Amino acid sequence: MQLKPINQQVVAVVGASSGIGREAALQFAKRGAKLVVSARNESKLASLVDEIQGFGAEATAIVADVSVFEQVKAIADRTVEVYGRLDTWVHCPAVGLFATFDNTTPEEFKQVIDVGLMGQVYGAMAALPHLKREGRGALIHISSMEGVRSLPYQSAYSAAKHGVEGFIEAMRVELQHEGLPISVTSVKPAVINTPFWNNGKTKLGVKPAGIPPYYDPRLVADAILHVAEHPTRDFFVGDAARLLDGLQRISPELADSLLLLIGFQGQRTNVPKSPDDRNNLYEPFPDDARVDGDYSNLVIPSLSDWLAKNFSFL
């Protein structure tokens, strides 16, 4: 399966206003791709387009809520309208809820699923007709190591990511059966230092955190660009993601024991935060367009990412 060089691609990045999506959009633009970027917040998208155009690249913004299929379809249609085709679809959006399962309302659980799973479903449904017409291309879904192993306090998010893995596995085989050279990739990051931990709704009484170590969001963006040119089934980002995947395969019970040891306290800070404090579960933050989060002091490098890009056995 042959994918175009990035400097010849038209790319849609959904969930591009901050974090991984924003950094991926910037990297695609710096490599010469033409871009459509989307998110729920118009001002953050405008600042991204300004930044992209500032170094001479092309980008168009469209505001969309991924929990509404018609709005997601409009992203794909707008991409083809502006640039004539779609080569790569990158789907990033997710929202976080930090609470025990029995302290989660049906409405909250559904919202996490609507954004984190149904948004991904809608993205593939919207992009596929254009990729099929083009005759090749890439669907890149940002999943998580939680698509392999669920974490306490994140039952809804973990359910969404498990659902992503389920539908793209089926879709991938269907495309292979049709003989269509469309690459379908699940990118599974470990804990990444983005504003996700600030933005999520918490019922823990404190600001939530990821279980250390953290990895740089640029590692995920690098992985996204790699799989946009090199067809890849799964790409874990961060040594910890690969280790957790291996542990879950060997012994889910041992993974349970590890999470009992570090999974609860590791997701709590000492900073008080109420469920009523600002969060992005239902509405976007109006002003936080950062790529990096608050945990840069806990970020470590990842050796296995480089190995995975250069050796096919990983």
Q: Active-site positions?
A: 157
Rounded to whole angstroms, the maximal C-alpha distance in the chain is 54
CA distance 62 to 241: 32
C-alpha–C-alpha distance, residues 180 and 174, integer Å: 9
Tokens of 231: 């067809």
Hey, is 97 helix, strand or coil? strand
- Which residues contact residue 139 at a Cβ distance below 8 angstroms, ignoring those fewer than 6 apart? 89, 91, 123, 124, 127, 128, 131, 168, 171, 182, 183, 184, 185
- Spell out the residues 6+ positions from residue 294 whose beta carbon is closer than 8 angstroms to its own: 193, 195, 197, 198
